[in-house]
Structure 1
Amino acid sequence: MDFVFSSTISTACQDFNLSFIGQQDRNLTSPSPHNPPNFGLSYFTMSFGILSNLIGLAIVLASYARFHHRAKTPFLLLAAALLLSDLAGHLVTGALALHLHLGRVRRQRAASREPSEPPQAFCKLFGACMVFFGLTPLLLGSAMAVERCMGITQPLQHSAMATTAHVRLSVLLLITMAFTLAALPLLNIGTYEPQFPGTWCFLPVHGALSSADAGLALAFSSVGLSALTVSVLCNAVSGMTLLQARFNNQSAKLTASRRRRSSRSPVHSLDVEMMVQLVVITIVSSVCWSPFLIYISMSVRQFYRGETHSDPHYEQLLLLGLRMASWNQILDPWVYILLRRAVLRRVCSLLRPSRVILTQSNSCGSSERQEIHLH
C-alpha cells in the first residue's frame, strides 16, 4: 500500500474527506453546496509527489549511467523499479481519486441529493489499483533488502546470481504476484467496495464479510507485513555484517589494512551508501504502512471471531491509516535525493569545517581528494 496508496493521493483527498467527516451523516449525504471542498492542498500534494518521484528517478538513472558499477547495478535496477511504481501509483490512483472527487463537487454545486457512491465498474478499477500499487513498492523494497544482504554477506554468490536478467525476472515475478491478488475481485473472487466517506474503494475489512473478502484482506495485510519483516531482518543482518567488518579492519595490522582499503574501499563505500538508503526506506515504509496493515489484520480477525458489527470509529481509523500510507510514495524518492555521497560529504564538510580535506580513511571521506576541493 505504499498506497501509495500513493495513491491515495488520497492525500489528494484529504481536505475533501475531512470536511465530509464533520458534515456527513451515515447515509453519506452530500455536504452543503455553499461549502465546496478546497482542493488546493490536494493538488499541491499530488504535484509534489509526482515531482519528487521524477527527481528521484532521474538521480537513480544518472547514477546507473555514470558509474555502472557491477556491485551497484542490481540495487539501482530495483530502486528504479520502486520509484517507477511510486510514480505510476501517484498518476493512476491520483487521477481516479480526483475524478471521483470532482464528480462530488459537481453534485454539490447542483445541490444534488443522489447517492454519491461510485459506479461498480469504476470502484473495481479503483480498488484494484489501490491493491496493486500498494503491494508492489513493499515487495520491491523487500527485494532490495534481500539483494543487499546477499551482496554484503555472500559476495561471491551475489556476483553469480544477481545478474541484470535475474533482477528483471525477480521484478516481473513480484509485479505478477501483486497483480494477481489485485485482479482476483475482478474475477468475482471477493469484491471491492466504497470506503468511508465514499471517496475511495478497497477490499472490505470490517462488518459482515464473505469468506473470499476476509481471505483477500488477510492476504493483503499478510503479504505487506511479511515484506516489511523481511526488509527489517535483512537490513539488520547486513548492518551487523558491515559493523563486524569495520571492527575487524581496525584491529588488523596497518599494512594489511592499507592493502584491503586500497583494493576494496570503493565497494565498501558503495555498500555503506546503499545500506543507509535502504535502512531509511525501510523505516519510512514501516512507519507509514504498519498502522494500515495491522488494522486490516485486526479487523479481519475480529470477523473470524464472530464480531461483525461496524463501528464508525473503525472506518475513520482505516481512513487515517490510508493517509499515513499515502505519504510513503512521497518520502521514498527523497531518500535518493538527500542520502547520496555527494550530499553527505557536503554535510560532513559543513559540520566539520576544520577538516574539509578528508583522507581516504575518514568516515566521511572520499577516495579522491580532488573531489573535496571542488566542494
Structure 2
Amino acid sequence: MSSMNENKTKSVTLGVKDFFTNHQNLTSAIYQNFTSAVYQNLTTATYQNLTSATYQNLTSAVYQNLTSAVYQKLTSAVYQNRTSATYQNLTSATYQNLTSAVYQNLTSAVYQNITSAIYQNLTSPTYQNLTPTSTPHVYENIVPVTLLFVFGVVGNAIALSVLICSAKTHKWRPFYRLVCGLAISDGGGILASYPFAEYRYLSNFEYDFPEALCNYLGFVFMFTLMSSAMVVCCMSVDRFVAIFYPFVYNTPTKERRAMMMLGAVWVLAGILSSLHLYGLGASRNYYPGSWCFLDFIDLSSTSKVIYSYIYAFAGAIVVTLTVIINLMVIVFFVKNKFSQSAAKSNRNDLPVVLFLLMIVTLFTSCWAPLMVNIFQHAAFAVTGQGKTELLFLRMAVTNSVIDPWIYILFRKEVMIMLVNFGNRFLGRNTSSPLQKSTASTGKDVSETKRSVSVI
C-alpha cells in the first residue's frame, strides 16, 4: 500500500515537473515570439507616437533649459569677443560720425554760451569806457587822419584870418559873426581831438586811450559835430529872416542877437554832448581805437538807448530844418529870377543859388549818414561796429573841414579877388565880368549889395 502510494507520489511529482518544464519552455518560446512581435509592432507604433509626444515635450523642456544655459554661456562668450571687436570697429565709426555731429551741435551750443558770457563780461561798465585791447590785426592808413587834421586846422585858421582882414568890408554883420563861430567850433574841435588820434596811429595802435581820455574825446567829437550843425542851421535861419522879413531882421540889435544865438548854440551843444558824464549813457572807443563817441553800439541799458535817441533826434531836426530853410531860399531866388525882365543880368542871382545848393548838398551828404547810423543802432536794425562807423565819422568831420572854404573862400568878394589875381598873373584886363555886372546900373548895384548882405 505504501509502495503504491509512493509510486503515485512519484507520478504526480514527475507530472508536476514535466508541467513546469513545459511551462518554462513555453514561456521562453512565447516570450521570444511575443517579444519579437511586440517589439516590432510596439517599436513602430510607439516610435511614431512617442516621437511626436516626446519631441513636443522634449523640445519645450530642452528649449527652455538649453536656452537659459546657452544664453548665459553664449552671452558671456559673445560679449567678451564682441566687445573687443565691436569696440574697435564701433569706436572708429562712431568717432567719425559722433565727432561731426557733436562738433556741429557743440559748436552751436558753445558759441551761444560763450557769446552770451563774453557779451556780459565785455559789456560791464568798466569795459565800456575803455579802449579795446590793441591788436596787430588793425591796419589803417594814417593819411586820411593827417589830411583831415591839417586841412581842418589850416582851413579854419585861414577862414578866421580872412574874416579879420575883411572886417572893414563886412563890418561883422550877423552872418559873419556866425561864420566866425563856425570856424572856431570846427577848427577848435579838430585841434583838440585829432592829435590823440594821430598818436594812436603813430604808435602802431599800441597806445590805448584811458577811460578819462575817452570820455573827453567823446565830448569833443560830439560837441564839434553838433555845434557845427547848429551854427550852419543858425546861418540858414539868418539868411531866411533877412530875405523874407527884412524889416524884422534889420534892427539895431541884430549883431547882439547873432551873438546870443551863437552862445545858445554852444551851451545847448555842450549839454547834449556831456550827458554821458552825468550818468545818462556812456562813451565808447570805436574802430580802430582812435576816436570816441556816444555808445550807440552796446545798448544793454535803457540810458544808452535814450541818449542815442536824444542825440540822433537833435541831429535829425537840425539837418531837416537846415535843408528846408535853404530850399525855401533857393526857391525864392529862382522865382525872383523868372519874374524879372529879360534885360536884367542874372549873374547876381546865379552865385547865390549855386552857393545854397552847395550848402544843402554838402551838409546833408556829410552829416546825415552818421545820424541815420545812430538811429539804426538805437532801433536794433544793425549791430556791431567797424569801418562803417569810422567812414561816417570822417564824413561828418569832412563837413567841418570844408565849411570855411564854402562859406568864406567861395564868396563873391573872394572870387572877384581870385579872378583879379589870375588876370594880373596872366596879363589880362583886371576888370572881371562880376565887376562889370555890378557896375552896369545903380539898381544892379543895390541888388548886389542886398545879395551880399544876405549871404
Q: Is TM (by shorter chain) over 0.5?
A: yes
In structure 2, what is the equivalent of residue 295 of structure 1? 373
Q: Distance in 2 between matches of 1:198 and 1:36?
A: 11
Q: Distance in 1 between matches of 2:326 and 2:253?
A: 18
Displacement of 1:277 in angstroms is: 4.0
Displacement of 1:273 in angstroms is: 5.9
Relative to the length of structure 2, the TM-score reads 0.59
Displacement of 1:359 in angstroms is: 4.0
Q: Give secondary structure in 2 for the equivalent of 1:75.
A: helix
Offset from partner CA, 1:279-334 (integer Å, 9 cap, x none): 423321211111111111111012xxxx7x844xx432112211221211221122
In structure 1, what is the equivalent of residue 188 of structure 2? 88
The answer to whether the 8 A contact 2:196-2:290 is kept is: no
Query: More displaced, 232-241 or 161-170?
Result: 161-170
CA, structure 1 residues 338+101, in 2 after alignment: closer, same or farther (shift >3 Å)? same
Displacement of 1:95 in angstroms is: 2.4
The residue type equivalent to 1:58 in the other structure is: S
In structure 1, what is the equivalent of residue 390 of structure 2? 319
Offset from partner CA, 1:181-223 (integer Å, 9 cap, x none): 1111111221112122322211111244321111111221221
Q: Does 1:210 align with 2:287?
A: no
Q: Distance in 2 between matches of 1:297 and 1:161?
A: 42
Alignment of 1:233-248 (within 5 A): 233-248=324-339
In structure 2, what is the equivalent of residue 286 of structure 1? 364
Query: More displaced, 171-180 or 50-59?
Result: 50-59
The answer to whether the 8 A contact 2:148-2:398 is kept is: no
Q: Give secondary structure in 1 for the equivalent of 2:296.
A: coil
In structure 1, what is the equivalent of residue 179 of structure 2? 79
Displacement of 1:88 in angstroms is: 0.3
List runs of 5+ in structure 2 lacking aligned partners.
1-131, 424-428, 447-455
In structure 2, what is the equivalent of residue 131 of structure 1? 222
Larger Rg: 2
Q: Does 1:219 align with 2:310?
A: yes
Q: Give secondary structure in 1 for the equivalent of 2:274.
A: helix
Alignment of 1:141-220 (within 5 A): 141-160=232-251, 163-220=254-311
Q: Which one of the candidate residues 149, 172, 179 is aligned to 1:46?
A: 149
CA, structure 1 residues 138+301, in 2 after alignment: closer, same or farther (shift >3 Å)? same
The answer to whether the 8 A contact 2:231-2:265 is kept is: yes
The answer to whether the 8 A contact 1:55-1:337 is kept is: no
Displacement of 1:51 in angstroms is: 1.1
Q: Distance in 1 between matches of 2:327 and 2:252?
A: 22
In structure 2, what is the equivalent of residue 10 of structure 1? none
CA, structure 1 residues 204+41, in 2 after alignment: closer, same or farther (shift >3 Å)? closer
The answer to whether the 8 A contact 1:82-1:141 is kept is: yes
Q: Distance in 1 between matches of 2:307 and 2:252?
A: 33
The answer to whether the 8 A contact 2:205-2:289 is kept is: no
The answer to whether the 8 A contact 1:28-1:197 is kept is: no
Offset from partner CA, 1:226-259 (integer Å, 9 cap, x none): 11111111111112222333333328xx9xx9xx
Which gives a bigger RCO, structure 1 or 2 (Cα 8 Å, sep 6+)? 1
Q: Which one of the candidate residues 160, 185, 188 is aligned to 1:57?
A: 160
In structure 1, what is the equivalent of residue 136 of structure 2? 31
CA, structure 1 residues 198+43, in 2 after alignment: closer, same or farther (shift >3 Å)? closer
Name the structure where helix makes up a greater proportion of residues. 2
The answer to whether the 8 A contact 2:241-2:248 is kept is: yes
- Equivalent residue pairs, number: 306
Q: Distance in 1 between matches of 2:330 and 2:205?
A: 53
Quick one: percent identity of the two aligned structures? 23
Query: More displaced, 59-68 or 271-280?
Result: 271-280
The answer to whether the 8 A contact 1:124-1:192 is kept is: yes
Q: Give secondary structure in 2 for the equivalent of 1:190.
A: coil
Q: Which one of the candidate residues 325, 330, 333 is aligned to 2:401?
A: 330
Displacement of 1:148 in angstroms is: 0.3
Query: More displaced, 55-64 or 323-332?
Result: 55-64
Displacement of 1:163 in angstroms is: 0.9
Displacement of 1:344 in angstroms is: 4.0
The residue type equivalent to 1:79 in the other structure is: V
In structure 2, what is the equivalent of residue 373 of structure 1? none
Cα RMSD of the aligned pairs, angstroms, is 3.7
The residue type equivalent to 2:287 in the other structure is: F
The answer to whether the 8 A contact 1:190-1:213 is kept is: yes
Q: Distance in 1 between matches of 2:437 and 2:218?
A: 54
The residue type equivalent to 1:144 in the other structure is: M
